[in-house]
Structure 1
Amino acid sequence: MSAEGSVDKPQPSGIVKGCEERYRSLFENSLDAVFLTRPDGMILEANPAAQQMFGMTEDELKAAGRDVIMVHDERLDAALRERSQKGRARAELTFRRRDGSTFQGEVTSGVFTDADGTIKTSMIVRDISERRRAEGAIRSNLEQFQRGIEDAPIPVILQVEDGEVLQISKAWTEMTGYTIGDMRSFDEWVDKAIYGEGANEVRDHLHGLFEGHERSINIELDVRSVEGERKNWSFSASSPGVLEDGRRFIVGMAVDVTERKRAEEELKESETDLLLSLKASRSMAYSMDPTTRTVHSMKGVEWLLDYEPNEVVLSLEWWNQRIHPDDLAMCRAAFEKIAERPGEHKLIYRVQSKRGEWLFVEDSATSLDDPTGKVTRIIGTVTDITDRKRAEEEIKRSNDELQQFAYVASHDLKEPLRMVTSYLGLLERNAASCQDHKAR
């Protein structure tokens, strides 16, 4: 800060010193080999990573120069020409270590002029030997895989990112009727063989694989064979690598799930029929584990007790909270018996609906046991029998009234008979006391 309060600007020498320090830190700590060189190949400086990579000290690298540590070939000549013309170049070249062994390296080099006007070059080298070995292994495995695809027991496809189909299995052809000749373009096959929106879904997922947005996909498709037969496929795919020409490829596999889908549809229809039957009879069906007290399902409870589906909690406690307090102890005792004894059980008790109405229900439970005789599952139905109970009570009331009427009627009919009997007895006594036999 000057006397006038203004901020002193850094001197140019300070800026240069700061830049040099940052450069030196990057130079010393880089994981890649970094060289400061002259255009003719003389090495001026080499960082620690370069010394380790080539197995030489910095002085040995300076003495060796570019001609010793780099294998002279067409790729090197092309890279030097590119750097001379454009001021920078990037290439994959072959390098030589102190012990004479070679390795593949990715090099980036540029030309610059230093502070005193001297033209210099920089060179950054990254050892890509492991990457190249991995790519070679992938290529070898890919060739073996291509040979193995043909005899795969399920439909398998090998496709590259531009849509070209390289290989399909015999099972693919047997299942769809399409040969490799019909599938040179995967997009064309998708248009022919996949129904509706499924075609766009496949394209979107494959694009995500090739772009790296998705690691793998697993989708279900409706596929049409050459003969027009419709099948359901579970299709899985992933992109494990790239080909020698740099194109990414994917491997896709399909499983025919047509029968499974048909069975699922039939099961769904059966469940729908069951739910309609439960609704018509104002019943619910339940399943639970008596050991853990876990309720697995309560189908139909929403119309039995007038609850919304999202208001129902699958728990024994939730159900017990709706049982009439006078019936709860009986129900709990009955549950313990049901949980211990395999077989069929029936119980009648009262539960409260969402509207507050008390309903009479008949709980018909079946306890299922394992080979040891232990009850492992309880299934059953709960049916609203309120109308039946009311009818039974009405019949009982009518019977009681009828019995009362019969009693009263019987009493009223017997009273005149008793009077007649009394009069007859009186007449008999009078006649017995009379002397006149005619009067008798």
Structure 2
Amino acid sequence: MLILNPLEASERSVLVGYAVAVLTVAAAFAALLLMQTRWQASAPVSLLLAAVIVTTWLAGTKPGALATALAILAFTYYYVGLTGLSGNAPIQAIRLLSFTTLACYVVWITATERGAAESLRRAHDGLQRTNEALRLENMERRRTEEQLRLSEAKFRALTESASAAIFIRHGDRISYANPAASAITGYSFEELRAMSFSDTGHPDFQNLLRARALARQKGELVPVRYELKIVTKAGEERWLGFTEGVFEFQGTPAVVSIAFDITERQRAEEALRKSERLLREAEELGHTGSWEHDLVSGRIVNTPENHRLFFGDDDSKGARLEDYVDAVHPDDRAYLTARREKLLAEGGPRDIEFRVIWPDGSVHVLFGLATIVRDRSGQPVRAYGTNIDITERKRAEEAVRDSRQLLDLVLATLPVGVAVTDRAGDIVLANEASKRPRYGRCPADRRA
């Protein structure tokens, strides 16, 4: 399929118009010759003017002018060249002038009528297009109004049934609040509309809310998610988690804020923080640490005190299981590894005592208790437990043993008898010298 651009189409239309001018005048002249030859009729004016009129009406003014020029030539040729009437020059000149004037007048009249008809057609087409555009615009407006009505209905159905508080505000003024917002704050919609958004916040947060509203009006970026504390109409303090966005409401930019009551979560988090703080303090006082090891991912979670039990103040270690194995005393490492593998494979004693060496070279004795969690197939997936530093207890026990050995040695070397009795008078400790007969009954006899 041949597709022409507008310029090529215009050039082709002009050429067609000129071709029409040539063909119509040629046809008129041929008809004139035929009539003059067969019927001896003479109607050059009518035929040639008809050719000019047809050309002008069909092709326009320029082809009509060409047809006029060709008709004048044909008229002159007919009267001068064919009829042999060239002897009466004034009459021929008058005829030619009259024909030329009449032809030009016909072209002007025809072109004017054609232009008027074309203008009327264009005006009619333009009016039809305008009417169609108005009809489509009216349909689009009605469709837009219907969509707006449905959108507003859906918006109200959504917001009024939502459990989250929804505020729409212009600047710091509240333009809309759903029933959940009234339920959370304790204020009615009318009361909220009379308030600024910052007035709903706790005094500690009001300046922050005003500053953010001012920054948003200046076009600055502000956080879209945040948490703040409010004071309800009854004076109760509650925490809300906000998510905000900017959109067009009632023809002007507005901010929509969706808030969830997170008071219970805040209280739970505060209780958790307090519990963790107490646990941390208790672990520090008791030199006890807790740990958890995900056997699938390899992730290890430590309390700060458990990390300190293995590595002291070195924070660069503790992310890998190998760090803990390397911290164990070389003499206890194989024993600890074997106990761990046995516990993972088939169970067994959960408690173990071992030594660790801190980065500063000091040796510490730990007592650990581990628990293995298995999946339904019996495969171990998680381990957790506690460790306690018993270094001081071990040192105290060692000191007691040393003291007892020293006491036994002293008592054994004394030449005199020494006996220790309890409140009931029973001898609980005596050396060999005290068992000789001259000192009376021996401790065994007294106990008997």
Question: TM-score with structure 1 length normalisation?
Answer: 0.57
Residues of 2 paired with 1:306 and 1:220: CA distance? 38
Residues 150 and 309 of structure 1: CA distance in aligned 2, closer, same or farther (over 3 Å): farther
Larger-Rg structure: 2
Residues of 1 paired with 2:298 and 2:262: CA distance? 36
Task: Map 1:329-368 onto structure 2 (within 5 A).
Answer: 329-341=334-346, 345-368=350-373
Residues of 2 paired with 1:327 and 1:254: CA distance? 57
* Structure 2: segments with no counterpart, 5+ residues: 1-118, 416-430, 438-448
Cα displacement (A) at 1:139: 7.1
Question: Match of 1:326?
Answer: 331
Q: Secondary structure of 1:313's partner?
A: coil
Residues of 1 paired with 2:124 and 2:220: CA distance? 44
Question: Match of 1:158?
Answer: 168
Residues of 1 paired with 2:123 and 2:230: CA distance? 61
Cα displacement (A) at 1:300: 1.0
1:178 has 2:184 as partner: no
State the Cα deviation string for residues 249-297 of structure 1 (Å, max 9, x = none): 2322211111111111111111111111110112221111134432122
- Report the identity percentage: 24
Question: Match of 1:243?
Answer: 249
Q: 1:381 aligns with which of 386, 391, 397?
A: 386
- 8 A Cα contact 1:233 1:254, kept in partner: yes
- 8 A Cα contact 2:311 2:327, kept in partner: no
Task: Map 1:17-28 onto structure 2 (within 5 A).
Answer: none
Task: Map 1:37-116 onto structure 2 (within 5 A).
Answer: none
Residues 208 and 361 of structure 1: CA distance in aligned 2, closer, same or farther (over 3 Å): same
Tell me which moved more, 143-152 or 249-258: 143-152
1:234 has 2:241 as partner: yes
Cα displacement (A) at 1:304: 3.6
1:257 has 2:262 as partner: yes
Tell me which moved more, 211-220 or 312-321: 211-220
Cα displacement (A) at 1:376: 2.7
Question: Match of 1:274?
Answer: 279
Instruction: Give the structure with the higher percent strand.
Output: 1
Residues 374 and 339 of structure 1: CA distance in aligned 2, closer, same or farther (over 3 Å): same
The amino acid across from 1:337 in the alignment is K
Residues of 2 paired with 1:375 and 1:331: CA distance? 18
Q: Secondary structure of 1:350's partner?
A: strand
- 8 A Cα contact 1:139 1:243, kept in partner: no
The amino acid across from 2:198 in the alignment is V
Count of matched residue pairs: 303
Residues 151 and 293 of structure 1: CA distance in aligned 2, closer, same or farther (over 3 Å): closer
Q: Secondary structure of 1:150's partner?
A: helix
Residues of 1 paired with 2:127 and 2:342: CA distance? 88
Cα displacement (A) at 1:166: 3.2
- 8 A Cα contact 2:166 2:257, kept in partner: yes
- 8 A Cα contact 2:356 2:363, kept in partner: yes
Q: Secondary structure of 2:303's partner?
A: strand
Question: Match of 1:297?
Answer: 302
Question: TM-score with structure 2 length normalisation?
Answer: 0.56
Task: Map 1:83-232 onto structure 2 (within 5 A).
Answer: 140-159=150-169, 161-184=170-193, 188-191=196-199, 193-205=200-212, 217-232=224-239
- 8 A Cα contact 1:343 1:366, kept in partner: no
Residues of 1 paired with 2:432 and 2:161: CA distance? 102
Residues of 2 paired with 1:167 and 1:309: CA distance? 56
State the Cα deviation string for residues 393-436 of structure 1 (Å, max 9, x = none): 2233344445556766799969x99xxxxxxxxxxxxxxxxxxx
Instruction: Give the structure with the higher percent helix.
Output: 2
Cα displacement (A) at 1:392: 2.2
Q: Secondary structure of 2:397's partner?
A: helix
The amino acid across from 1:181 in the alignment is E
- 8 A Cα contact 1:287 1:297, kept in partner: yes
State the Cα deviation string for residues 328-347 of structure 1 (Å, max 9, x = none): 22222222233345686111
Cα displacement (A) at 1:141: 1.9
Q: Secondary structure of 1:355's partner?
A: coil
- 8 A Cα contact 2:311 2:317, kept in partner: no
Tell me which moved more, 354-363 or 148-157: 148-157
Residues of 1 paired with 2:308 and 2:295: CA distance? 25
Residues 69 and 189 of structure 1: CA distance in aligned 2, closer, same or farther (over 3 Å): farther
The amino acid across from 2:358 in the alignment is S
State the Cα deviation string for residues 74-98 of structure 1 (Å, max 9, x = none): xxxxxxxxxxxxxxxxxxxxx969x
Cα displacement (A) at 1:69: 10
Residues of 1 paired with 2:397 and 2:144: CA distance? 83
Residues of 2 paired with 1:200 and 1:134: CA distance? 41
